[in-house]
């Protein structure tokens, strides 16, 4: 199994001090221009601290996580391969992901391009930076697994779920900040309740970063959710679809 990474080595590659003012400025820019996805990655960069190193080392403590770290495959390459995605039967996680991305015209490489705008080291050949790419690339897979859509409330919930899974403060900052903005826009939407439930669901679920995603994609979606203990997003789905889609805030 791959050896744990020396934090001192990573310190030389990427500063790990928290930058809350940088995150706050990036969040304000994101609120002004909801399509500026690069600001999401600026917030993550500013607040990730040592969570990436800890997450990578956690992978090494499991057999499957250690195997994934050893293989160090780039998930974005598979997720953007139509032939690879076409292999998965209807009703599977892979088919649900395929439908999710095709209906929204999303690509993993498009998300990676946004990350590169604020993180010039995003493609560096370093195990912890590889782990950060992995977390980035499975974001939309987690949308599918959790049932949160890509409206503003759904994005706030999926990042709250992600915070519970990764302990990256950037996710917490975005999730709670977005919930606050949603409540300001429409007080009838229980955004904080939905985000809090998403965080609790993330804590209750199995740890997802170290999974074999190719094997997961072949499983029926409902079965995968049960095996991974991903609870229903009841607070989110209690909000009418038209109310969610009417929100001006777009994550």
Q: From the first residue on, what is the mean pLDDT of each consecutive set of 10 residues in the chain (251 residues)? A: 49 61 84 78 87 95 96 95 96 97 89 81 90 95 97 95 96 93 94 98 98 98 98 98 85 41
Residue 93 and residue 28: Cα distance in Å, rounded?
A: 35
Q: For residue 139, what pLDDT is reported?
A: 95
Alpha helix ranges (H) inside the chain? 7-13, 20-32, 38-47, 51-59, 63-71, 75-79, 82-85, 93-104, 108-118, 127-137, 139-146, 152-166, 169-185, 191-204, 213-217, 221-227, 234-237, 241-245
Query: Angle at the Cα of 79 (from 216 to 218), degrees rounded to 5?
Result: 25
Domain boundaries, the chain: 17-245
Q: For residue 18, what pLDDT is reported?
A: 77
CB–CB of 37/114 below 8 Å? yes
């Amino acid at each position: 199994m791959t050896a744990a990474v020396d934090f001192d080595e990573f310190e030389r590659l990427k500063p790990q001090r928290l930058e809350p003012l940088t995150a706050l400025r990036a969040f304000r820019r994101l609120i002004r221009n909801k399509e500026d996805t690069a600001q999401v990655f600026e917030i993550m960069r500013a607040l990730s601290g040592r969570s990436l190193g800890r997450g990578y080392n956690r992978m090494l403590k499991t057999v499957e996580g250690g195997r994934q770290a050893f293989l160090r495959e780039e998930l974005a390459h598979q997720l953007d391969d139509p032939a690879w995605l076409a292999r998965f039967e209807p009703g599977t996680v892979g088919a649900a992901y395929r439908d999710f991305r095709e209906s929204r015209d999303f690509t993993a490489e498009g998300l990676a391009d946004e990350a590169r705008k604020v993180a010039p080291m995003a493609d560096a050949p370093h195990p912890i930076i590889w782990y950060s790419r992995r977390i980035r690339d499975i974001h939309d897979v987690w949308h599918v697994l959790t049932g949160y859509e890509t409206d503003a409330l759904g994005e706030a919930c999926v990042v709250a779920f992600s915070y519970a899974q990764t302990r990256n403060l950037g996710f917490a900052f975005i999730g709670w900040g977005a919930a606050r903005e949603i409540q300001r826009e429409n007080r009838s939407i229980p955004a904080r309740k939905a985000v809090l439930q998403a965080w609790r669901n993330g804590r209750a679920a199995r740890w997802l970063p170290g999974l074999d995603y190719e094997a997961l994609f072949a499983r029926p979606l409902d079965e995968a959710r049960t095996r991974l203990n991903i609870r229903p997003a009841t607070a989110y789905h209690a909000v009418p679809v038209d109310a969610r889609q009417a929100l001006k805030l777009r994550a």
